[in-house]
Structure 1
Amino acid sequence: MSSPDLLIGVDVGTYSSKGVLVTLEGEVLRQATRPHGIQVPQHGHVEQDADGVWWADTASILRELTVGVTERVAGVACSAIGPTVLPLDVAGRPLRPGILYGVDTRAQAQIDALNAELGPDAILAHSHMALTSQATGPKIRWLREQEPEVWAQTRTLTTASAYLVYRLTGQHVLDHHTGAHAMPLYDPRTQAWTDTYAEAVLGDRNLDRLPRLAWSDERAGHVTAEAAAETGLRPSTPVAVGTVDALAEGLSVGAVQPGDLMVMYGSSTFFILTQTAPTPDPRVWSVGGAFAGQVNLAAGMSTTGSLTRWLADETARELPIDEAYAELFAQAAALPPGADGLLLLPYFSGERTPINDPQARGVLAGLTLSHTRAHLFRAALEGVGYGIRHNLEALRDLGADVRRLVAVGGGTRGRTWLQLVSDITGQPQEVPQVTVGASYGDAFLAGLAAGVLTRDDLDRWVKPGDPVVPNPAVKPEYDRLYALYRELYTQTKSVVHGLGQKG
């Protein structure tokens, strides 16, 4: 039998899971997708079922991709939404749905308590970032305080990508990028778990509940006989440690050199800047990279692609979703900058960076009877563009070296949104020829973990595409509107916070 010559990557996102079967040269042979939803049991609580969504999608995709080629698969890697919190019992079974990343804002009281007990300056010095809704430490404390019956049965605390690794290999392994968000349980200097502040989160100093830490391209283990029966994979197939979807997206487009900034246009917008040294700042997140020795500066908006999906669902429900998007994007593209006087804050599930305000809400200003759904849609696209500019300015304010913007994700399929963002930010963006997404980056990680690829092979996998160049003619107008966007948040913040309070 010839040596295995195919790789599989699977990514579980917020609204769908995707998988690819790829050759060692980076050619995509097969793709598979599984749509799914989220659970919002109450405002601020956003969850997904670990077995019914994460594992069910992954196993189904793997069965589809491996038909007729099981023996040729050299390795597999998974990424997923993150950082999430999933408690497992002693048998490795989920005790409740997974608590999602920064769009889940349930733990604000625990953030406030940790800041009061430990001090925000001490937390920043210890973790290289401030506590926000993206951090999993406060959510672990929320679980301990609000669901003591679940906590009493919890043997392992894991996250979405690590749970997939566990189901494939029987090993609890977590990548450093995701582990850094379990603050203040992770020490970025030693790149290891620490019990310094463990009692404030866990109630004790027992770190055995946490998975083993490793780098994304390392081998977590091998496919077990049980997992092989469920997935169609060959027993003993190497499995990579994997990572969160955003980091895999960055890898998929080659944004791995210092100064490379990946902008991921997904259900949320995520930014990952590759660095050689950390630049701690409370506005953003300083975390480990995919590979040993790398540091990432990360940031993220909460509702971007999910906002456009909401608008399509609510204003064009008579059309299938693909047709709704095509019509709304075409209509929005025909409108002038500023959507005829309409301005939108895209904070529909609080906001992450750089304002880190879980109580923020969407605001639509300037409505008149002449505005249409096309105006609403363009205002949403521009609102996201202003949010991206706000994040870019925050990165530069703290001294980060941003040399190149590389765009990836579902929002890059058309040029309308990309052009708006480049016009608003004044920054060109690169869009590689192949923008399959995180699953493509996962396939590359699978090759590294299996030992059939080296990092230098990424240059063969990623092929440059045409850049998106800003239009200087519209910059003055967008500069004016961006200033109003910043002022709109400041002027409406207290009103919005008041609306969110229960009477």
Structure 2
Amino acid sequence: MSFVIGVDIGTGSTKAVRCTLDGEVVAVARRDHAPSLPRPGWAEMDPERDWWGDVVEVLAELDSTDVVAVCVSGLGPCVVQTDVDLRPRRPAILYGVDTRSTREIAEITEQLGAGAILERCGKDLSSQAIGPKLAWLKRDAGEAWRPQDRWFSAHTYVVAQLTGEWVLDHHTASQCDPFYDIHRQDWATDWVEQVLPGLALPRLVWPSEQVGTVRRDAAAQTGLAEGTPVVAGTVDAWAEAFSVGVRHPGDLMLMYGSTMFFVQVLATPTSVRGLWTTSGVERGSHTLAAGMATSGTVTTWLQDLTGGVPFETLLREAAAVPAGSEGLVLLPYFSGERTPVYDPLARGVIAGLTLRHGRGHLLRATYEGIACGVRQILDVFGPAERIVAVGGGTQGGLWTQIVSDVAGVRQVVPQQTIGASYGGALLAAIGVGAVPPDTDWTRPDHVAVPDPATAATYRTLFETYTELYPATRDLIHRIAQ
């Protein structure tokens, strides 16, 4: 029997799965880690320890016998600059939760023009874009800047460690604004030269392409057989969407994780202000995406704040609180906000606290606040043919039910919600021709349907939520600065 391995480097952990070619998960390995937050607005990771080191450990834990391919996905888009021997120059800068490049975003937008960037790249420049992060690295390094250095996202750094190949999949490249032309699906080399002259660019590939094989030294560290094929992979949210069959125009994935993330497959590329148009997973495809800055991370913060009480206890208490959290409203902008607010200086707000509110109220208000943010984003997306809910936050059902109630949408919850590593395993199987390209491993488990009894309460809550941010924005900006 043949097997494939999918690995995913997440914000909070690295996971690996060993699967049969019909999608049965036969083994799982995991290592936890956490980003470093050295300054307000900064979010970093150590690529040698948190990315490659964790991947080595999870791969070594799995049986590599009869493994025909491996694929790595990862949090992103991130950026780490290395020398030719893959030694990082500094810690990796994470995706949109790292907002240090605000100055560079403004400068590049002024240089190239906001309208031109939106048309050519499919989105406005934001903290999610890699171009401004690279420009920040150049400014920070000063005369020590080396434009011929290599630069990687999380999964491509690991691919390089495994194979020696410097590649970037088209999806991740399409988040390297303003350096990728979404219509031509190729590097915008003229803009690269205008913004960062001489910047070296990796070879572009599609996520399911085989890009190399495991080198001897990587084999010795990971336990994989030397010569095992390695498939390119992509950013974790897109690998997760692929894992649950979000592959056809109108399909939308809603990912419940450290952040809430949205991926919808498009029939044709389109630019929507406030959302992100990107290349997709399958060759020539396009997607529309959005992401909140914090979601599951707020529930972790709340658990820590309440003395590490078992999360099952918090969940049970939150489920007992009525819809609307008895007058408590929460803005989940604990690390600024990405779509649709695009405000790196936004901060969390808890309004309506009284002495009778307890930790269960806080958790339910957190879920409800996130659900209001989800509704804001879905309103910009417009109608979806099918919404598939994935991620660890779907476990237990309370969070998904609250989102369905607040946003008024049906959500299909699959049987297998193990995540992006599962999508990576499927990409690995497709990439080496072990299964047909249209193979879909997903099976539905249940559907979350809006409860009409909560509709009036959540309509009022949503109105209050949308008014609370502009009402407090100036004060919060003053505090944040």
- The normalised TM-score by structure 1 is 0.94
Tell me the CA shift for residue 470 of structure 1: 0.8
1:436 — aligned with what?
418
DSSP-derived class of the 2:190 partner: coil
1:65 — aligned with what?
62
DSSP-derived class of the 1:152 partner: coil
Q: Map 1:80-99 onto structure 2 (within 5 A).
A: 80-99=74-93
- Cα pair 1:308 1:380 within 8 Å, conserved: yes
2:134 — aligned with what?
140
Tell me the CA shift for residue 369 of structure 1: 1.3
1:465 to 445, 468, 481: 445
User: Which one-letter code corresponds to 2:125 in the other structure?
Assistant: L
**1:495 equivalenced with 2:475 (yes/no):** yes
Post-superposition Cα deviations, 1:130-155, rounded to whole Å, max 9, x if no partner, equal: 00110010000000011226523861
1:117 — aligned with what?
111
- Cα pair 1:60 1:231 within 8 Å, conserved: yes
**1:273 equivalenced with 2:264 (yes/no):** yes
- Cα pair 2:269 2:287 within 8 Å, conserved: yes
**1:152 equivalenced with 2:149 (yes/no):** no
2:332 — aligned with what?
346
Tell me the CA shift for residue 34 of structure 1: 0.3
- Cα pair 1:301 1:353 within 8 Å, conserved: yes
**1:255 equivalenced with 2:246 (yes/no):** yes
1:329 — aligned with what?
315
**1:236 equivalenced with 2:227 (yes/no):** yes
1:25 to 14, 22, 26: 22
1:446 — aligned with what?
428
Tell me the CA shift for residue 41 of structure 1: 1.0
Tell me the CA shift for residue 229 of structure 1: 0.7
Q: Map 1:84-483 onto structure 2 (within 5 A).
A: 84-148=78-142, 151-152=145-146, 155-202=149-196, 204=197, 206-207=198-199, 209-317=200-308, 319=309, 324-396=310-382, 401-458=383-440, 461-483=441-463
In 1, Cα distance between the equivalents of 2:111 and 2:438? Answer: 47
DSSP-derived class of the 2:241 partner: helix
DSSP-derived class of the 1:316 partner: coil
In 1, Cα distance between the equivalents of 2:432 and 2:111? Answer: 45
- Cα pair 2:337 2:346 within 8 Å, conserved: yes
Any runs of at least 4 consecutive aligned residues in structure 1 with deviations exceeding 3 A, and if so which?
A: none
In 2, Cα distance between the equivalents of 1:278 and 1:47? Answer: 32
In 2, Cα distance between the equivalents of 1:289 and 1:219? Answer: 17
Tell me the CA shift for residue 282 of structure 1: 2.3
In 1, Cα distance between the equivalents of 2:51 and 2:360? Answer: 35
DSSP-derived class of the 1:183 partner: coil
User: Which one-letter code corresponds to 2:248 in the other structure?
Assistant: Q
In 2, Cα distance between the equivalents of 1:83 and 1:418? Answer: 26
Post-superposition Cα deviations, 1:441-473, rounded to whole Å, max 9, x if no partner, equal: 000001011110123321xx2111111111011
Tell me the CA shift for residue 475 of structure 1: 0.9
In 2, Cα distance between the equivalents of 1:153 and 1:191? Answer: 23
In 2, Cα distance between the equivalents of 1:150 and 1:349? Answer: 30
- In structure 2, do the counterparts of structure 1 residues 307 and 154 end up closer, same or farther at CA, with 3 Å as the change threshold? farther
In 2, Cα distance between the equivalents of 1:125 and 1:446? Answer: 33
Q: How many residues align?
A: 481
Post-superposition Cα deviations, 1:216-269, rounded to whole Å, max 9, x if no partner, equal: 011111111111111111111111110011011111111111111101101001
Tell me the CA shift for residue 158 of structure 1: 1.3
Tell which deviates more after alignment, 193-202 or 97-106: 193-202
DSSP-derived class of the 1:331 partner: helix
DSSP-derived class of the 2:412 partner: coil
DSSP-derived class of the 2:438 partner: helix
1:38 — aligned with what?
35
- Cα pair 2:163 2:230 within 8 Å, conserved: yes
1:75 — aligned with what?
69
In 1, Cα distance between the equivalents of 2:213 and 2:186? Answer: 24
Post-superposition Cα deviations, 1:67-94, rounded to whole Å, max 9, x if no partner, equal: xxx3400100000000001101122211
In 1, Cα distance between the equivalents of 2:429 and 2:143? Answer: 42
In 2, Cα distance between the equivalents of 1:154 and 1:332? Answer: 53
User: Which one-letter code corresponds to 2:371 in the other structure?
Assistant: G
2:11 — aligned with what?
14
DSSP-derived class of the 2:398 partner: helix
In 2, Cα distance between the equivalents of 1:84 and 1:336? Answer: 40
Post-superposition Cα deviations, 1:104-142, rounded to whole Å, max 9, x if no partner, equal: 000001111112222211111221110011001000000
User: Which one-letter code corresponds to 1:130 in the other structure?
Assistant: D
DSSP-derived class of the 1:431 partner: strand
Tell which deviates more after alignment, 84-93 or 129-138: 84-93
Tell me the CA shift for residue 474 of structure 1: 0.7
In 2, Cα distance between the equivalents of 1:311 and 1:357? Answer: 23
* Unaligned residue ranges in structure 2 (runs of 5+): none
Tell me the CA shift for residue 200 of structure 1: 4.4
- CA RMSD in angstroms comes to 1.2
- Cα pair 2:183 2:269 within 8 Å, conserved: no
User: Which one-letter code corresponds to 2:350 in the other structure?
Assistant: L
In 1, Cα distance between the equivalents of 2:144 and 2:315? Answer: 45
In 2, Cα distance between the equivalents of 1:211 and 1:160? Answer: 14
User: Which one-letter code corresponds to 1:466 in the other structure?
Assistant: H
Work out the percentage of aligned pairs sharing the same amino acid: 47
User: Which one-letter code corresponds to 1:104 in the other structure?
Assistant: D
In 2, Cα distance between the equivalents of 1:494 and 1:200? Answer: 35
- Cα pair 1:242 1:445 within 8 Å, conserved: yes
Post-superposition Cα deviations, 1:187-241, rounded to whole Å, max 9, x if no partner, equal: 1122111222224431x1x24x221111101111111111111111111111111
DSSP-derived class of the 2:270 partner: coil
User: Which one-letter code corresponds to 1:431 in the other structure?
Assistant: V
- In structure 2, do the counterparts of structure 1 residues 45 and 237 end up closer, same or farther at CA, with 3 Å as the change threshold? same
- Cα pair 1:140 1:201 within 8 Å, conserved: no
DSSP-derived class of the 2:87 partner: coil
DSSP-derived class of the 2:217 partner: helix
